[in-house]
A and B are shown apart, each in its own frame.
Chain A
Amino acid sequence: MKTLIRCKDVTLGYENMTVLEHVSFELNEGDYLCVVGENGAGKSTLIKCLAGLKRPSEGQIEFSPTISRSDVGYLPQQTAIQRDFPASVREVVMSGCLNHSRLIPFYTKADRQRAAAHMEELGITDLAGRSYRELSGGQQQRVLLARALCASEKLLMLDEPVTGLDPIVTSEIYGIIREVNRKYGMTVIMVSHDVRTAVRSANKILHLKHTVQFFGSTEEYLASSTGREFLGGQRENA
Protein backbone atom coordinates (compact mmCIF):
# COMPACT_ATOMS: atom_id res chain seq x y z
CA MET A 1 0.00 0.00 0.00
CA LYS A 2 1.43 3.31 -1.05
CA THR A 3 0.64 6.52 0.74
CA LEU A 4 -1.30 8.82 -1.59
CA ILE A 5 -2.10 11.84 0.54
CA ARG A 6 -0.46 12.99 3.73
CA CYS A 7 -2.04 15.79 5.76
CA LYS A 8 0.37 17.24 8.31
CA ASP A 9 -0.97 19.40 11.13
CA VAL A 10 -3.27 21.38 8.84
CA THR A 11 -5.13 24.43 10.11
CA LEU A 12 -7.92 25.92 8.00
CA GLY A 13 -10.03 29.01 8.29
CA TYR A 14 -11.77 31.94 6.67
CA GLU A 15 -10.48 35.46 7.27
CA ASN A 16 -9.60 35.45 10.96
CA MET A 17 -11.85 32.60 11.98
CA THR A 18 -10.34 29.16 12.39
CA VAL A 19 -12.57 26.32 11.25
CA LEU A 20 -10.27 23.34 11.67
CA GLU A 21 -7.06 22.86 13.63
CA HIS A 22 -4.27 20.29 13.78
CA VAL A 23 -5.66 17.90 11.20
CA SER A 24 -3.26 15.09 10.40
CA PHE A 25 -3.99 11.88 8.55
CA GLU A 26 -2.63 9.63 5.84
CA LEU A 27 -4.44 7.97 3.02
CA ASN A 28 -3.31 4.98 0.98
CA GLU A 29 -4.06 4.11 -2.62
CA GLY A 30 -7.45 2.42 -2.90
CA ASP A 31 -8.74 3.71 0.43
CA TYR A 32 -12.32 4.82 0.83
CA LEU A 33 -12.32 7.59 3.38
CA CYS A 34 -15.49 9.07 4.75
CA VAL A 35 -15.27 12.43 6.48
CA VAL A 36 -18.06 12.73 9.03
CA GLY A 37 -19.09 15.22 11.67
CA GLU A 38 -21.87 17.60 12.52
CA ASN A 39 -22.83 20.62 10.39
CA GLY A 40 -20.21 23.32 10.62
CA ALA A 41 -17.52 20.87 11.74
CA GLY A 42 -15.30 21.86 8.81
CA LYS A 43 -15.86 18.83 6.56
CA SER A 44 -16.51 20.79 3.38
CA THR A 45 -13.68 23.19 4.15
CA LEU A 46 -11.28 20.28 4.40
CA ILE A 47 -12.35 18.76 1.09
CA LYS A 48 -12.11 22.14 -0.64
CA CYS A 49 -8.58 22.32 0.64
CA LEU A 50 -7.77 18.81 -0.60
CA ALA A 51 -9.27 19.76 -3.96
CA GLY A 52 -6.91 22.72 -4.15
CA LEU A 53 -9.61 25.39 -3.94
CA LYS A 54 -8.35 26.72 -0.64
CA ARG A 55 -4.93 26.99 0.91
CA PRO A 56 -4.35 25.78 4.45
CA SER A 57 -3.40 28.64 6.77
CA GLU A 58 -0.89 26.33 8.46
CA GLY A 59 0.45 22.85 7.87
CA GLN A 60 0.95 20.90 4.68
CA ILE A 61 -0.96 18.62 2.38
CA GLU A 62 1.36 16.35 0.42
CA PHE A 63 0.31 14.33 -2.58
CA SER A 64 2.37 11.35 -3.65
CA PRO A 65 4.46 12.09 -6.77
CA THR A 66 2.47 9.47 -8.69
CA ILE A 67 -0.54 11.77 -8.94
CA SER A 68 -1.04 15.35 -10.06
CA ARG A 69 -3.93 17.81 -10.05
CA SER A 70 -5.22 16.34 -13.30
CA ASP A 71 -5.66 12.95 -11.60
CA VAL A 72 -8.38 14.33 -9.37
CA GLY A 73 -12.06 13.75 -10.01
CA TYR A 74 -14.24 16.08 -7.97
CA LEU A 75 -17.94 16.28 -7.27
CA PRO A 76 -18.62 19.64 -5.64
CA GLN A 77 -21.83 20.77 -4.03
CA GLN A 78 -24.22 22.13 -6.63
CA THR A 79 -24.21 25.85 -7.20
CA ALA A 80 -27.14 28.15 -7.95
CA ILE A 81 -25.67 28.81 -11.40
CA GLN A 82 -26.04 25.17 -12.44
CA ARG A 83 -29.72 24.95 -11.60
CA ASP A 84 -30.81 26.90 -14.68
CA PHE A 85 -27.76 26.39 -16.88
CA PRO A 86 -28.60 25.45 -20.46
CA ALA A 87 -26.29 22.51 -21.14
CA SER A 88 -26.89 19.01 -22.45
CA VAL A 89 -25.83 16.00 -20.42
CA ARG A 90 -23.21 15.17 -23.05
CA GLU A 91 -21.70 18.65 -22.82
CA VAL A 92 -21.44 18.41 -19.04
CA VAL A 93 -19.88 14.94 -19.02
CA MET A 94 -17.43 15.82 -21.81
CA SER A 95 -16.19 18.84 -19.85
CA GLY A 96 -14.62 16.37 -17.42
CA CYS A 97 -12.13 15.36 -20.13
CA LEU A 98 -10.61 18.83 -20.42
CA ASN A 99 -7.81 18.30 -17.95
CA HIS A 100 -6.25 15.63 -20.22
CA SER A 101 -6.14 17.40 -23.57
CA ARG A 102 -4.06 20.36 -22.53
CA LEU A 103 -2.58 21.24 -25.88
CA ILE A 104 -5.53 20.46 -28.12
CA PRO A 105 -8.36 22.95 -27.68
CA PHE A 106 -11.04 20.58 -28.97
CA TYR A 107 -12.24 17.17 -27.82
CA THR A 108 -10.53 14.16 -29.32
CA LYS A 109 -12.04 10.86 -30.33
CA ALA A 110 -10.56 9.30 -27.20
CA ASP A 111 -12.35 11.93 -25.07
CA ARG A 112 -15.64 11.11 -26.76
CA GLN A 113 -15.17 7.38 -26.16
CA ARG A 114 -14.22 7.98 -22.55
CA ALA A 115 -17.32 10.09 -21.94
CA ALA A 116 -19.55 7.55 -23.69
CA ALA A 117 -18.12 4.70 -21.60
CA HIS A 118 -18.73 6.51 -18.33
CA MET A 119 -22.24 7.55 -19.33
CA GLU A 120 -22.98 3.91 -20.15
CA GLU A 121 -21.52 2.82 -16.82
CA LEU A 122 -23.76 5.22 -14.90
CA GLY A 123 -26.84 4.40 -16.95
CA ILE A 124 -27.32 7.87 -18.40
CA THR A 125 -26.58 7.14 -22.07
CA ASP A 126 -30.21 7.71 -23.03
CA LEU A 127 -30.13 11.11 -21.31
CA ALA A 128 -27.16 12.36 -23.39
CA GLY A 129 -29.16 14.85 -25.43
CA ARG A 130 -31.36 16.01 -22.56
CA SER A 131 -30.91 19.31 -20.81
CA TYR A 132 -29.08 19.09 -17.49
CA ARG A 133 -31.42 21.50 -15.73
CA GLU A 134 -34.48 19.37 -16.53
CA LEU A 135 -33.15 16.24 -14.84
CA SER A 136 -34.07 14.96 -11.39
CA GLY A 137 -31.62 15.43 -8.53
CA GLY A 138 -30.44 11.83 -8.73
CA GLN A 139 -29.90 12.00 -12.49
CA GLN A 140 -27.94 15.23 -12.09
CA GLN A 141 -25.65 13.59 -9.53
CA ARG A 142 -25.05 10.68 -11.94
CA VAL A 143 -24.11 13.19 -14.64
CA LEU A 144 -21.67 14.97 -12.33
CA LEU A 145 -20.27 11.63 -11.23
CA ALA A 146 -19.70 10.61 -14.86
CA ARG A 147 -17.93 13.92 -15.41
CA ALA A 148 -15.73 13.32 -12.36
CA LEU A 149 -14.81 9.86 -13.68
CA CYS A 150 -13.89 11.38 -17.05
CA ALA A 151 -11.49 13.65 -15.20
CA SER A 152 -9.81 10.82 -13.32
CA GLU A 153 -9.97 7.17 -12.41
CA LYS A 154 -7.41 7.49 -9.61
CA LEU A 155 -8.78 9.80 -6.96
CA LEU A 156 -12.37 10.89 -6.42
CA MET A 157 -13.44 13.60 -3.98
CA LEU A 158 -17.12 14.06 -3.20
CA ASP A 159 -18.71 16.81 -1.15
CA GLU A 160 -22.07 15.66 0.28
CA PRO A 161 -23.07 13.81 -2.90
CA VAL A 162 -26.54 12.77 -1.70
CA THR A 163 -27.89 15.99 -0.21
CA GLY A 164 -31.59 16.32 -0.94
CA LEU A 165 -31.96 12.94 -2.62
CA ASP A 166 -34.55 10.35 -1.64
CA PRO A 167 -33.43 7.13 0.12
CA ILE A 168 -33.61 4.89 -2.96
CA VAL A 169 -31.55 7.25 -5.14
CA THR A 170 -29.18 7.80 -2.21
CA SER A 171 -28.41 4.12 -1.93
CA GLU A 172 -27.97 3.89 -5.72
CA ILE A 173 -25.40 6.71 -5.67
CA TYR A 174 -23.56 5.12 -2.74
CA GLY A 175 -23.61 1.83 -4.65
CA ILE A 176 -21.98 3.45 -7.68
CA ILE A 177 -19.27 5.05 -5.54
CA ARG A 178 -18.54 1.72 -3.82
CA GLU A 179 -18.38 0.08 -7.24
CA VAL A 180 -15.80 2.52 -8.68
CA ASN A 181 -13.75 2.18 -5.51
CA ARG A 182 -13.56 -1.59 -6.01
CA LYS A 183 -13.51 -1.78 -9.79
CA TYR A 184 -10.81 0.80 -10.51
CA GLY A 185 -9.12 0.62 -7.13
CA MET A 186 -9.96 4.29 -7.05
CA THR A 187 -9.19 6.22 -3.90
CA VAL A 188 -12.35 7.90 -2.62
CA ILE A 189 -12.71 10.77 -0.18
CA MET A 190 -16.31 11.55 0.63
CA VAL A 191 -17.85 14.12 2.93
CA SER A 192 -21.12 12.99 4.39
CA HIS A 193 -23.32 13.76 7.35
CA ASP A 194 -24.96 10.37 6.99
CA VAL A 195 -22.61 8.38 9.20
CA ARG A 196 -24.48 5.07 9.13
CA THR A 197 -24.18 4.67 5.36
CA ALA A 198 -20.62 5.88 5.61
CA VAL A 199 -19.53 3.09 7.91
CA ARG A 200 -21.14 0.57 5.58
CA SER A 201 -18.97 1.50 2.56
CA ALA A 202 -15.85 3.26 3.78
CA ASN A 203 -12.78 1.50 5.13
CA LYS A 204 -11.52 4.61 6.92
CA ILE A 205 -13.30 7.28 8.91
CA LEU A 206 -12.24 10.81 9.73
CA HIS A 207 -14.49 12.36 12.34
CA LEU A 208 -14.14 16.13 12.63
CA LYS A 209 -15.30 18.62 15.20
CA HIS A 210 -13.03 21.65 14.77
CA THR A 211 -10.19 19.18 15.07
CA VAL A 212 -9.75 15.45 14.52
CA GLN A 213 -12.01 13.51 16.91
CA PHE A 214 -11.17 10.21 15.35
CA PHE A 215 -9.13 8.86 12.48
CA GLY A 216 -8.74 5.17 11.75
CA SER A 217 -10.36 2.15 10.22
CA THR A 218 -14.10 1.70 10.23
CA GLU A 219 -13.91 -1.26 12.64
CA GLU A 220 -11.94 0.82 15.14
CA TYR A 221 -14.43 3.66 14.72
CA LEU A 222 -17.39 1.43 15.48
CA ALA A 223 -15.66 0.27 18.66
CA SER A 224 -14.54 3.76 19.74
CA SER A 225 -16.50 5.95 22.11
CA THR A 226 -16.70 8.77 19.49
CA GLY A 227 -18.19 6.42 16.94
CA ARG A 228 -20.66 4.78 19.29
CA GLU A 229 -21.81 8.14 20.57
CA PHE A 230 -22.25 9.66 17.09
CA LEU A 231 -23.95 6.60 15.64
CA GLY A 232 -26.22 6.30 18.63
CA GLY A 233 -27.09 9.99 18.45
CA GLN A 234 -27.97 9.74 14.79
CA ARG A 235 -30.13 6.72 15.40
CA GLU A 236 -32.11 8.57 18.03
CA ASN A 237 -32.55 11.53 15.71
CA ALA A 238 -33.72 9.38 12.86
Chain B
Amino acid sequence: MLEMFTYPFILRAFVVGTLVSLCSALLGVNLVLKRYSMIGDGLSHVAFSAMAVATVMNWAPLWVAIPVVIAASYVLLRLGANDRLSGDSAIALLSTGALAVGIFIISMKSGINTDINNYMFGSVLAISRSDVTLSVVLSLAVLALYVLFYNKIFAVTFDEPFAKATGVRADFYNMLIAVLTAVTIVLGMRMIGALLISSLIIFPAMSSMRVFKCFRNVVICSAAISVVCFLAGLIISYECSTPTGASVVLINIAVFAVFCAVAFFRGRIALNGADSDK
Protein backbone atom coordinates (compact mmCIF):
# COMPACT_ATOMS: atom_id res chain seq x y z
CA MET B 1 0.00 0.00 0.00
CA LEU B 2 2.84 2.36 0.84
CA GLU B 3 4.22 1.91 -2.65
CA MET B 4 1.41 4.14 -3.95
CA PHE B 5 3.23 7.11 -2.46
CA THR B 6 6.19 6.50 -4.71
CA TYR B 7 4.11 7.90 -7.55
CA PRO B 8 4.60 11.66 -7.60
CA PHE B 9 1.01 12.40 -8.66
CA ILE B 10 -0.37 10.37 -5.74
CA LEU B 11 1.96 12.16 -3.36
CA ARG B 12 0.77 15.52 -4.71
CA ALA B 13 -2.86 14.46 -4.42
CA PHE B 14 -2.16 13.25 -0.86
CA VAL B 15 -0.61 16.54 0.29
CA VAL B 16 -3.10 18.89 -1.36
CA GLY B 17 -6.08 16.64 -0.64
CA THR B 18 -5.30 16.38 3.07
CA LEU B 19 -4.98 20.13 3.42
CA VAL B 20 -8.14 20.84 1.42
CA SER B 21 -10.07 18.24 3.44
CA LEU B 22 -9.01 20.00 6.63
CA CYS B 23 -10.07 23.42 5.33
CA SER B 24 -13.40 22.25 3.98
CA ALA B 25 -14.25 20.41 7.19
CA LEU B 26 -13.56 23.45 9.36
CA LEU B 27 -15.47 25.88 7.15
CA GLY B 28 -18.16 23.26 6.57
CA VAL B 29 -19.29 23.43 10.19
CA ASN B 30 -19.92 27.16 9.87
CA LEU B 31 -21.53 26.91 6.45
CA VAL B 32 -23.90 24.10 7.46
CA LEU B 33 -24.90 26.01 10.60
CA LYS B 34 -25.40 29.21 8.64
CA ARG B 35 -27.74 27.24 6.34
CA TYR B 36 -25.32 27.52 3.44
CA SER B 37 -24.77 23.83 2.82
CA MET B 38 -25.14 24.18 -0.91
CA ILE B 39 -22.73 27.08 -1.32
CA GLY B 40 -20.01 24.62 -2.30
CA ASP B 41 -22.14 23.42 -5.17
CA GLY B 42 -22.81 26.91 -6.48
CA LEU B 43 -19.20 28.00 -6.15
CA SER B 44 -17.75 24.92 -7.78
CA HIS B 45 -19.94 25.52 -10.83
CA VAL B 46 -18.72 29.08 -10.99
CA ALA B 47 -15.18 27.75 -10.73
CA PHE B 48 -15.96 25.31 -13.52
CA SER B 49 -17.09 28.13 -15.75
CA ALA B 50 -14.04 30.26 -14.88
CA MET B 51 -11.72 27.35 -15.59
CA ALA B 52 -13.48 26.73 -18.90
CA VAL B 53 -12.74 30.31 -19.90
CA ALA B 54 -9.15 29.88 -18.73
CA THR B 55 -8.76 26.67 -20.74
CA VAL B 56 -10.09 28.27 -23.90
CA MET B 57 -7.92 31.36 -23.44
CA ASN B 58 -4.90 29.34 -22.34
CA TRP B 59 -4.63 31.08 -19.00
CA ALA B 60 -3.58 29.38 -15.76
CA PRO B 61 -6.86 27.93 -14.36
CA LEU B 62 -6.20 28.60 -10.66
CA TRP B 63 -5.29 32.24 -11.15
CA VAL B 64 -8.52 32.90 -13.06
CA ALA B 65 -10.82 30.80 -10.92
CA ILE B 66 -9.80 32.03 -7.47
CA PRO B 67 -10.68 35.75 -7.86
CA VAL B 68 -13.89 34.96 -9.77
CA VAL B 69 -15.06 32.48 -7.15
CA ILE B 70 -14.17 34.82 -4.28
CA ALA B 71 -16.40 37.46 -5.88
CA ALA B 72 -19.22 34.94 -6.40
CA SER B 73 -18.90 33.72 -2.81
CA TYR B 74 -19.19 37.22 -1.45
CA VAL B 75 -22.23 37.95 -3.62
CA LEU B 76 -23.92 34.74 -2.44
CA LEU B 77 -23.36 35.41 1.24
CA ARG B 78 -24.58 38.99 0.79
CA LEU B 79 -27.68 37.91 -1.14
CA GLY B 80 -28.50 35.51 1.65
CA ALA B 81 -28.60 38.44 4.08
CA ASN B 82 -31.15 40.10 1.82
CA ASP B 83 -34.78 39.18 2.42
CA ARG B 84 -35.88 39.58 -1.17
CA LEU B 85 -33.87 36.69 -2.57
CA SER B 86 -33.42 33.73 -0.26
CA GLY B 87 -30.05 31.99 -0.01
CA ASP B 88 -31.02 28.73 -1.65
CA SER B 89 -32.60 30.23 -4.74
CA ALA B 90 -29.62 32.59 -5.12
CA ILE B 91 -27.29 29.60 -5.07
CA ALA B 92 -29.48 27.69 -7.54
CA LEU B 93 -29.50 30.63 -9.95
CA LEU B 94 -25.76 31.10 -9.80
CA SER B 95 -24.96 27.40 -9.90
CA THR B 96 -27.02 26.46 -12.96
CA GLY B 97 -26.28 29.73 -14.72
CA ALA B 98 -22.53 29.33 -14.31
CA LEU B 99 -22.67 25.70 -15.39
CA ALA B 100 -24.46 26.65 -18.60
CA VAL B 101 -21.91 29.36 -19.35
CA GLY B 102 -19.05 26.93 -18.70
CA ILE B 103 -20.42 24.20 -20.96
CA PHE B 104 -21.21 26.74 -23.66
CA ILE B 105 -17.68 28.12 -23.63
CA ILE B 106 -15.93 24.78 -23.43
CA SER B 107 -17.97 23.43 -26.37
CA MET B 108 -16.53 26.16 -28.56
CA LYS B 109 -13.21 24.38 -28.34
CA SER B 110 -13.62 20.91 -29.76
CA GLY B 111 -12.27 17.71 -28.22
CA ILE B 112 -12.26 18.57 -24.55
CA ASN B 113 -14.79 16.08 -23.31
CA THR B 114 -12.12 14.61 -21.05
CA ASP B 115 -11.63 18.03 -19.51
CA ILE B 116 -15.34 18.34 -18.75
CA ASN B 117 -15.33 14.86 -17.28
CA ASN B 118 -12.35 15.69 -15.08
CA TYR B 119 -13.82 18.93 -13.87
CA MET B 120 -17.21 17.40 -13.13
CA PHE B 121 -16.12 14.22 -11.37
CA GLY B 122 -12.57 15.04 -10.38
CA SER B 123 -9.27 13.40 -11.19
CA VAL B 124 -6.34 12.46 -9.05
CA LEU B 125 -4.11 13.58 -11.90
CA ALA B 126 -5.51 17.10 -11.76
CA ILE B 127 -2.88 18.51 -9.43
CA SER B 128 0.05 19.39 -11.63
CA ARG B 129 3.50 20.03 -10.27
CA SER B 130 3.13 23.78 -10.75
CA ASP B 131 -0.16 23.81 -8.81
CA VAL B 132 1.20 22.12 -5.71
CA THR B 133 3.06 25.09 -4.27
CA LEU B 134 0.17 27.48 -4.76
CA SER B 135 -2.33 24.96 -3.39
CA VAL B 136 -0.26 24.25 -0.31
CA VAL B 137 0.39 27.92 0.41
CA LEU B 138 -3.27 28.86 -0.03
CA SER B 139 -4.67 26.03 2.04
CA LEU B 140 -2.17 26.72 4.84
CA ALA B 141 -3.28 30.36 4.73
CA VAL B 142 -6.93 29.29 5.00
CA LEU B 143 -6.11 27.10 8.01
CA ALA B 144 -4.09 29.84 9.70
CA LEU B 145 -6.79 32.47 9.21
CA TYR B 146 -9.49 30.11 10.44
CA VAL B 147 -7.58 29.31 13.63
CA LEU B 148 -6.66 32.96 14.19
CA PHE B 149 -10.25 34.18 13.84
CA TYR B 150 -11.91 31.06 15.24
CA ASN B 151 -13.67 32.88 18.11
CA LYS B 152 -14.98 35.66 15.93
CA ILE B 153 -16.13 33.22 13.25
CA PHE B 154 -18.01 31.33 15.96
CA ALA B 155 -19.65 34.51 17.23
CA VAL B 156 -20.73 35.62 13.76
CA THR B 157 -22.13 32.17 12.97
CA PHE B 158 -23.99 31.77 16.24
CA ASP B 159 -25.55 35.21 16.39
CA GLU B 160 -24.76 37.81 13.79
CA PRO B 161 -27.09 40.54 15.13
CA PHE B 162 -25.48 40.31 18.57
CA ALA B 163 -21.98 40.44 17.11
CA LYS B 164 -22.87 43.49 15.04
CA ALA B 165 -24.66 45.32 17.84
CA THR B 166 -21.77 44.87 20.27
CA GLY B 167 -19.18 46.22 17.87
CA VAL B 168 -17.68 43.09 16.28
CA ARG B 169 -17.08 43.73 12.58
CA ALA B 170 -19.49 41.05 11.43
CA ASP B 171 -19.39 42.06 7.77
CA PHE B 172 -15.64 41.67 7.70
CA TYR B 173 -15.82 38.18 9.18
CA ASN B 174 -18.59 37.17 6.78
CA MET B 175 -16.35 38.33 3.97
CA LEU B 176 -13.51 36.31 5.47
CA ILE B 177 -15.68 33.16 5.55
CA ALA B 178 -16.65 33.84 1.92
CA VAL B 179 -13.03 34.20 0.79
CA LEU B 180 -11.81 31.14 2.68
CA THR B 181 -14.67 29.05 1.31
CA ALA B 182 -14.00 30.19 -2.24
CA VAL B 183 -10.30 29.32 -2.05
CA THR B 184 -11.05 25.91 -0.53
CA ILE B 185 -13.61 25.06 -3.21
CA VAL B 186 -11.33 26.00 -6.08
CA LEU B 187 -8.42 24.02 -4.65
CA GLY B 188 -10.53 20.95 -3.97
CA MET B 189 -12.85 20.77 -6.94
CA ARG B 190 -10.37 19.54 -9.51
CA MET B 191 -9.49 16.49 -7.50
CA ILE B 192 -12.92 15.73 -5.99
CA GLY B 193 -15.01 17.11 -8.85
CA ALA B 194 -17.31 20.11 -9.25
CA LEU B 195 -20.38 17.95 -8.65
CA LEU B 196 -18.99 16.29 -5.54
CA ILE B 197 -17.01 18.98 -3.70
CA SER B 198 -20.05 20.04 -1.65
CA SER B 199 -20.00 16.72 0.12
CA LEU B 200 -16.56 17.55 1.54
CA ILE B 201 -18.15 20.61 3.15
CA ILE B 202 -21.34 18.94 4.36
CA PHE B 203 -20.62 15.35 5.38
CA PRO B 204 -17.89 15.75 8.03
CA ALA B 205 -19.80 18.61 9.69
CA MET B 206 -23.11 16.73 9.69
CA SER B 207 -21.48 13.55 11.02
CA SER B 208 -19.73 15.23 13.93
CA MET B 209 -22.84 17.28 14.78
CA ARG B 210 -24.73 14.02 15.37
CA VAL B 211 -22.47 13.13 18.25
CA PHE B 212 -20.77 16.24 19.65
CA LYS B 213 -22.53 19.10 21.37
CA CYS B 214 -19.97 21.80 21.86
CA PHE B 215 -18.70 23.82 18.96
CA ARG B 216 -14.98 23.21 19.46
CA ASN B 217 -15.43 19.43 19.60
CA VAL B 218 -17.64 19.50 16.52
CA VAL B 219 -14.95 21.39 14.61
CA ILE B 220 -12.10 19.12 15.75
CA CYS B 221 -14.06 15.94 15.06
CA SER B 222 -15.18 17.23 11.68
CA ALA B 223 -11.56 17.91 10.70
CA ALA B 224 -10.49 14.44 11.81
CA ILE B 225 -13.33 12.71 9.94
CA SER B 226 -12.57 14.66 6.80
CA VAL B 227 -8.87 13.80 6.73
CA VAL B 228 -9.43 10.13 7.57
CA CYS B 229 -12.15 9.80 4.91
CA PHE B 230 -9.94 11.45 2.32
CA LEU B 231 -7.02 9.10 3.02
CA ALA B 232 -9.28 6.05 2.97
CA GLY B 233 -10.85 7.25 -0.26
CA LEU B 234 -7.47 7.86 -1.87
CA ILE B 235 -6.22 4.38 -0.93
CA ILE B 236 -9.40 2.72 -2.21
CA SER B 237 -9.24 4.69 -5.40
CA TYR B 238 -5.61 3.53 -5.90
CA GLU B 239 -6.25 -0.10 -5.03
CA CYS B 240 -9.52 -0.53 -6.95
CA SER B 241 -8.89 2.05 -9.69
CA THR B 242 -12.05 3.97 -8.78
CA PRO B 243 -12.47 7.75 -9.16
CA THR B 244 -10.94 9.52 -6.14
CA GLY B 245 -13.78 11.99 -5.55
CA ALA B 246 -16.52 9.36 -5.56
CA SER B 247 -14.49 7.06 -3.31
CA VAL B 248 -13.94 9.81 -0.73
CA VAL B 249 -17.64 10.67 -0.73
CA LEU B 250 -18.67 7.02 -0.30
CA ILE B 251 -16.43 6.71 2.77
CA ASN B 252 -17.99 9.91 4.10
CA ILE B 253 -21.46 8.41 3.67
CA ALA B 254 -20.39 5.33 5.62
CA VAL B 255 -18.98 7.46 8.45
CA PHE B 256 -22.16 9.52 8.52
CA ALA B 257 -24.21 6.33 8.89
CA VAL B 258 -21.99 5.17 11.76
CA PHE B 259 -22.29 8.51 13.57
CA CYS B 260 -26.07 8.52 13.12
CA ALA B 261 -26.19 5.04 14.63
CA VAL B 262 -24.03 6.14 17.57
CA ALA B 263 -26.30 9.13 18.19
CA PHE B 264 -29.38 6.91 17.96
CA PHE B 265 -28.13 4.31 20.43
CA ARG B 266 -26.84 6.93 22.79
CA GLY B 267 -30.30 8.52 22.73
CA ARG B 268 -31.86 5.13 23.49
CA ILE B 269 -29.50 4.52 26.39
CA ALA B 270 -30.23 7.98 27.80
CA LEU B 271 -33.95 7.30 27.44
CA ASN B 272 -33.73 3.91 29.15
CA GLY B 273 -31.66 5.47 31.91
CA ALA B 274 -34.34 8.10 32.42
CA ASP B 275 -37.03 5.41 32.51
CA SER B 276 -35.24 3.30 35.09
CA ASP B 277 -34.73 6.40 37.25
CA LYS B 278 -38.48 6.73 37.65
Contact = CB atoms under 8 A, between A and B. Distances in A.
A86 B214 contact: yes
A105 B149 contact: yes
B89 to A, nearest CB: 18
8 contacts: A53-B161, A53-B164, A68-B167, A69-B167, A70-B167, A74-B166, A133-B213, A148-B162
Interface of B: 33-35, 148-152, 154-155, 157-159, 161-168, 209, 212-216, 218
Given A52-B165, A85-B33, A95-B163, 17 more contacts: A51-B164, A74-B162, A86-B212, A91-B215, A95-B154, A95-B158, A98-B155, A98-B163, A99-B168, A105-B150, A105-B151, A131-B214, A133-B213, A147-B162, A151-B162, A152-B166, A157-B165
Nearest to A105: B148
B165 to A, nearest CB: 4
B158 A96 contact: no
A88 B165 contact: no
Interface stretch (A76-84, A112-120, A194-202): A76-84
A86 B34 contact: no
B35 A70 contact: no
Interface string A129-153: 1010110000000001001100110
B contact face: mostly helix, strand, loop, or mixed: helix
Given A76-B159, A86-B218, A98 B152 contact: yes
Contacts of B161: 48, 51, 53, 74, 76, 79
Of all A-B residue pairs in the complex, the 8 with the closest CB atoms, nearest first, are A69-B167, A131-B213, A70-B167, A88-B214, A51-B165, A74-B165, A95-B155, A151-B166
A172 to B, nearest CB: 22
A94 B214 CA distance: 13
Nearest to B154: A95
B167 A92 contact: no
A107 interface: yes
A206 interface: no
Interface of A: 48, 51-53, 68-70, 72-76, 79, 81-82, 85-88, 91-92, 94-96, 98-99, 105-107, 129, 131, 133-134, 144, 147-148, 151-152, 157
Contacts of B214: 86-88, 91, 129, 131
**Among B161, B166, B215, residue most surrounded by chain A Cβ atoms (within 10 Å):** B166
A107 B151 contact: yes
B5 to A, nearest CB: 36
B165 A82 contact: no
Contacts of A74: 161-162, 165-166
Contacts of A157: 165
B166 A106 contact: no
A30 B150 CA distance: 35
B158 A85 contact: yes
A99 B159 contact: no
A72 B218 contact: no
Nearest to A69: B167
B151 A98 contact: yes
Contact of A53 (B150, B165, B167, B212): B165
A44 to B, nearest CB: 11
Contacts of A88: 213-215
